[in-house]
Structures are given as structure tokens and as C-alpha cells.
Amino acid sequence: MLEVKGLSAAYGQHPALNKASVRVGKGEIVVILGANGAGKSTLLKAISGICEGKVTGSARMNGHELVGMKPDRIVEEGIALVPEGRGIFGDLTVEENLTLGAYSERAKDAERTNLDRVYTLFPKLLERRKQVARTMSGGEQQMVAIGRAMMSNPAILTLDEPSLGLSPLLSKELFQSLRAVRDTGIGILLVEQNAKASLAIADRGYLLENTEIIHEDTGANLAKDPAVQKAYLGGAAAKSARGPTRPGLEPGPRSAEAPDQVGGVAPAPRPAKGPSPSDIAAQAMSGLAPARPAKPAPPPTPRPAPPPAPPVARPAPRPALAATPTPTGIDTASIVAKAASQSSRKGAPPALPPRPAPMPEPPKPARASQPARPMPDLGHHSDRLRDMLEEIETAAQRARDRSRTRTRGKP
Ligand SMILES: Nc1ncnc2c1ncn2[C@@H]1O[C@H](COP(=O)(O)OP(=O)(O)OP(=O)(O)O)[C@@H](O)[C@H]1O
């Protein structure tokens, strides 16, 4: 079904994925293990058409080339991404979140069936269908995220570290759920740091090291491979093992499953690096292409300058947005509007640094010749942007005043 061949990705001059080849069949769970920065998320993003870097090579779904396709088209081809950080709408109910996932053409006609399937797989979501998503536990929210992806009627579900931040108990439930999803015939491509649990459910797995796939085997064989145990499973078994170690297979700072996680204590949660609400809302509006996970602040090692920001594909809005209740009886347009308003409330603040305390105003000379410029209509971000523009204008005015004072002071 999904056949990735020689897929590469680079952010500017920085290669993040080098000629990766991976395949996922119907009803198969395939796990990708790798250290921090190995290129795992980049692989998933490149397949889903949301990689910010330059992608070359091939990723085919049932023979259709995905590289170069827009993200919403890739959803139509049957690929759904559950991004790291989940990206659900906290202010919407469970059922509203799920319904947003059914916006692709391929999902519309089967919305009722897909919703029933999600509720059968995750009975808790049925119980809590009217509950506001942000009030749910981390594990339940992850189920909402997976359920929403399944509402797009995917043939392949890709998941970026779904167990991140979950307690061992919730992680266990999650991996059991993924098994159940697989049993419905959906192929699963899973990027995980919980090597033990993911290999336990995986049919096959790949090791991704320094941008390259260095090994492929069955989940069972990988789980007992001494080199894999050393690198990803805490190393206890590997220490006594005499088997050869694979060159280059070194544990990354986060690749080795924390021994306490194996032992049953929750790992220290990493900061979420999910897509911003505005990203998700924009994508919801544009046909529910998979959400674009935001990158966290750059690591201490300097990153190469990113390429000039490629425009994020935002397909033309669908006419059906204004439409009619869905088969579930829910008015999708009003859910999307609600999601968008949530996004506009929450989108700006995290992205912007706190405003500095205002400087004392120097006396301004009268400037009758420059009337105030009219403010363009900036939509729902206008207040924040207006404040920023005013700050810039004030700073520029101060600079002009200072330079005028200096010029006047010169003989
Ligand atoms: N948008 C970006 N711009 C520039 N560099 C990036 C970007 N996204 C990722 N990278 C870099 O590409 C490399 C691979 O990143 P990627 O997120 O794919 O790794 P990963 O294996 O998923 O790591 P982690 O497990 O820490 O999420 C890293 O060196 C990372 O710093």
C-alpha cells in the first residue's frame, strides 16, 4: 500500500532524511525507532506533505506518487497523521473534534460508519462524546486525536510519538487500541520513543540513525536484538548479551527508553510540540489536511538557516463548508467556525515574546505633515497586530527624533 523509496528531506543545507525506504501494508504495524533528531518526524511529515524542508524521492500510496501532492490530497489518498502533541481542539466536545476529522471527500459518505467504528474502538469516547476535550485525561485526548484521524477513513494511519507524556497505564491502553485499529485493516506507521511497548505490537520495524534507515526486521527480532536492546531498551539485556553490536547504533539522549518507564514509572513529559491551534483551524477550514506540528525552540547546537519559508499549502476553501448538517446530524460549518474562533483566541500569544515594558516617552515635535495611516483590516488578529504596529511606529519615531537631535547638535 504505502511504498516509500529513497525519500530525502533537507531544511536548507541541513539534511534531515537521507534516501529512506519504508513500506507499510494493509493491517500492518510498522514502527520507526531512532534517536533525537534522527529524522523520524521528518519522515512522517514528508509522507503527509507537510515537511517544511525540500523533499525528494518517492512515496507512493497504491501506486500514486505523494511527493509534491498537497496535504489535503494526501488525506484523500488515505494517509492520516496524528501529529506529536495531538493537536485537538480543547474547547470543542469529543464528538465535534471527531466530526472535524470527517471533512475529506473520501470520508464524507462513510461518516456515520466511521464514527461508529471509532466509538466501538474507543468506547470511552462514546461515553464522553459531549465532554469538552480539554477536560479529558492525556490518554483520552490521545484517543480523540487518533479517532479524529480515523474519521478521515484512512488506509494508513501515521502517528508521531503518541505515548509521549502518558503514564504507563495509559500508554498500555493506547498500544492496545492501536492493535485494535490494525485489526480493522488499517496500516499503522508509528514513530515511538517507547521502544519496548511499540516493538511488542509491531509486525516490523526500522532503525533510523542519523537521517538513514540502517536496519529493518520483524518487531519480535528487533526486540531481542542486543544492539537494539542496548540502544533503545535500557541495555539491561544487552549487557549480558554477547551478540555483535551494529556499528553506528548509539542511543540518543531520548532514544533509550527510560529504564523507569520500563519499570512502570511515568517518564518526565517532554514539552508538547504540537501544531498551533491556528494551524489546525486553518487546515480544518481548508479541508482537514493533517495538522502541521510546530518545531520547538531550536536546540543549543545552531541549526542551519531554514530555507525561505515555503508557503504552507492551503487549498481553496470547499464550498461544502457552508453546508448542511452531516450524516451525524452535526453542523460541520458551525464546528469549524467554533474551532477557528478557538484558534484565534489561542493562536497568537504563545508565538510572540512578551511585550517589553514601555519606555518613557521623549517629547515629540509636532508632525502636522504626517497624518495617521489608516489601519488595514487584519481580521481577528487585528488587536495584537495593531499593538505591534504601534510599537514599531513608536520605535521608528524615536529613532527619527534621536537622529534629528544628533544632526542639529553637529556644527
Ligand atoms: N523546520 C525545521 N527547520 C530546520 N531544521 C529542522 C526542522 N525540523 C527538523 N529539523 C532538523 O532536522 C533534523 C531531524 O528532525 P526530526 O524532527 O525529524 O527528528 P526526530 O527524529 O523526529 O527527533 P525527535 O525525536 O527529537 O522529535 C533535526 O536535526 C532537526 O533539528
Q: Tell me the CA end-to-end span of the chain in Å, nearest whole number.
A: 79
- pLDDT for the residue 249: 57
Q: Which residues of 306-331 are buried (b: 16+ CB within 10 A; e: fewer)?
A: eeeeeeebeeeebeeeeeeebebebe
| 158 has a pLDDT exceeding 90 | yes
Which atom of ligand 1 is closest in space to residue 208's alpha carbon?
Answer: 21
| 291 has a pLDDT exceeding 50 | no
Which atom of ligand 1 is closest in space to residue 273's alpha carbon?
Answer: 27
- Ligand 1: residue of 8, 11, 191 to mutate (most ligand atoms within 8 A of CB) is 11
**What whole-number percentage of the chain has pLDDT above 70?**
58
If one compares 247 and 84, the residue with the highest pLDDT of the two is 84
Dist. CA 11 → ligand 1 center (Å): 9
- pLDDT for the residue 328: 53
- Widest pairwise Cα distance in the chain: 85
Full DSSP string of 8-47:
EEEETTEEEEEEEEEEE-TT-EEEEEE-TTSSHHHHHHHH
Residue 36 in contact with ligand 1 by CB distance below 6 A: yes
Full DSSP string of 148-160:
HHHTT--SEEEEE
C-alpha closest to that of 145 among 187, 94, 91: 94
Cα–Cα distance measured from residue 266 to residue 249, given in angstroms and rounded to the nearest whole number? 26
If one compares 2 and 264, the residue with the highest pLDDT of the two is 2
If one compares 205 and 294, the residue with the highest pLDDT of the two is 205
Backbone angles phi, psi at 44, to 5 degrees: -65, -40
When pLDDT is averaged across residues 325-351 and rounded to a whole number, the result is 53
- pLDDT for the residue 9: 98
Strands 14-24 and 2-11: antiparallel
- Ligand 1: residue of 13, 22, 36, 42 to mutate (most ligand atoms within 8 A of CB) is 42
Other Cβ atoms within 10 Å of 6 Cβ, number: 12
When pLDDT is averaged across residues 181-201 and rounded to a whole number, the result is 93
Residue 184 in contact with ligand 1 by CB distance below 6 A: no
Residue 386 in contact with ligand 1 by CB distance below 6 A: no
* Nearest residue (CA) to ligand 1, atom 29: 37
Dist. CA 36 → ligand 1 center (Å): 8
| 399 has a pLDDT exceeding 60 | yes
Cα–Cα distance measured from residue 141 to residue 87, given in angstroms and rounded to the nearest whole number? 9
* Nearest residue (CA) to ligand 1, atom 26: 36
| 368 has a pLDDT exceeding 60 | no
Please name the residues in contact with 212: beta carbons below 8 A apart, sequence gap of 6 or more.
Answer: 18, 19, 20
- pLDDT for the residue 292: 39
* Nearest residue (CA) to ligand 1, atom 17: 41
- pLDDT for the residue 335: 63
C-alpha closest to that of 341 among 85, 83, 91: 91
* Nearest residue (CA) to ligand 1, atom 7: 11
Other Cβ atoms within 10 Å of 269 Cβ, number: 11
Would you call 271 exposed, middle or buried from its count of C-beta atoms within 10 A (0-12, 13-18, 19+)? exposed
Most confident of 2-6, 273-277, 299-303: 2-6
Kindly report which listed range (81-95, 115-129, 169-183, 369-383) carries the lowest average pLDDT score: 369-383
Dist. CA 23 → ligand 1 center (Å): 21
| Predicted structure pTM score | 0.66
- pLDDT for the residue 79: 96
Report angle CA 45, 88, 90 to the nearest 5 degrees: 155
- As a whole number, the mean pLDDT across the chain is 73
- pLDDT for the residue 400: 72
If one compares 87 and 250, the residue with the highest pLDDT of the two is 87
pLDDT band at residue 312 using 50, 70 and 90 as cut-offs: very low
- Type of residue found at 311: P
If one compares 269 and 96, the residue with the highest pLDDT of the two is 96
Q: What is the pLDDT of residues 210-241, one digit of tens each?
A: 999 999 999 999 999 988 888 887 654 444 44
Q: What is the pLDDT of residues 22-80, one digit of tens each?
A: 999 999 999 999 988 999 999 999 999 999 999 999 999 999 999 999 999 999 999 99
- In the sheet with 2-11, reading across from the earlier edge strand, the strands are 14-24, 2-11, 54-61, 64-65
When pLDDT is averaged across residues 128-151 and rounded to a whole number, the result is 92
| 369 has a pLDDT exceeding 80 | no
ipTM: 0.98
Cα–Cα distance measured from residue 355 to residue 385, given in angstroms and rounded to the nearest whole number? 12
When pLDDT is averaged across residues 282-310 and rounded to a whole number, the result is 42
- pLDDT for the residue 147: 93
pLDDT band at residue 409 using 50, 70 and 90 as cut-offs: low
- pLDDT for the residue 226: 87
Kindly report which listed range (196-200, 322-326, 406-410) carries the lowest average pLDDT score: 322-326
